[in-house]
Amino acid sequence: MSASGGWHAANQTEQTAWKRAAAEAAVREIPDGATVGLGTGTTAEQMLHALAGRLQAGLQIRGVATSERTQALASSLGVLMASLDEVDHLDLSFDGADEVTLPTLNLLKGRGGALLREKLVAASSRYRIILVDVTKIVPTLGVGTVIPVEVETFGWRHTAARLAAPGCRIVRRALAPATASAQEAAPFLSDGGHYILDLIYDSPPDIPTLAARIKATTGVVEHGLFLGMTERVYIGGPDGVRYADRAR
């Protein structure tokens, strides 16, 4: 749907309803006895609440969380949890995304700071499902937004310098703005104890080339570009829920 269709003006209540609808449609696909990767973020939390309804109806699964926050919420909702190292594979995984392109189903993720664990779970999953509202569908990834990169805290300024490129601004993610008493804001730390560097480009980068360059940079743990790592996307919007499968 184009901007002229009006969905870019959707308010938060509408977007939440669209996410919930996508989550409810997707969890109907979970087979009994499956081992399931559980994502992080507001859409993933909608999925967990929808999943709780199926658990109450008798569904039995085992979950693997992509963050401590998801681990706590899933456990409180009655999901039997395991660590990634306790399972041989995941039958499927569910997560949200900050941006999605069609029909490639390439993703930009990591605004919630869980991108490393999200990618590890995705890489261990046989079938990967993404849940979004229609505002997350974009023609090109990384335009007018940040591309998150998880880096080692040791020597992070040097890592940032290696990532630097013309037309790219790099900001270390912070917990909150600096104050008069704290001239430098406390840095955000991922569950793995890493910093997140947010890369902001003046013009659209070549995504495949950028992903390879970032991954090859010493000091980088992982980046938020998920290319070729999704089989299906459920998209909630004003006209209901539709899904898109990756073009083969």
Residue type, 134: V
Q: What are the b/e assignments for 70-90, b being 16+ CB within 10 Å?
A: bbebbeebebeeeebeeeeeb
Distances, alpha carbon 218 to alpha carbons 39, 161, 210, in Å = 27, 11, 15
Name the CA radius of gyration of the chain, rounded. 18
Report DSSP state, residue 105: -
Tell me whether residue 118 is one of the annotated catalytic residues.
yes
From the candidates 24, 45, 99, 118, give the one annotated as an active-site residue: 118
Q: Using CA atoms in the order 88, 82, 100, 111, what is the torsion angle rounded to 10 degrees?
A: -130
Please state whether the peptide bond connecting residue 205 to the residue before it is cis, i.e. omega within 30 degrees of 0: no
Backbone region of residue 188 per phi and psi (left: phi > 0; alpha: psi in -120 to 50; beta: other values): beta
**What is the rounded distance in angstroms from the CA atom of residue 6 to the CA atom of residue 29?**
30
Active site residues: 118
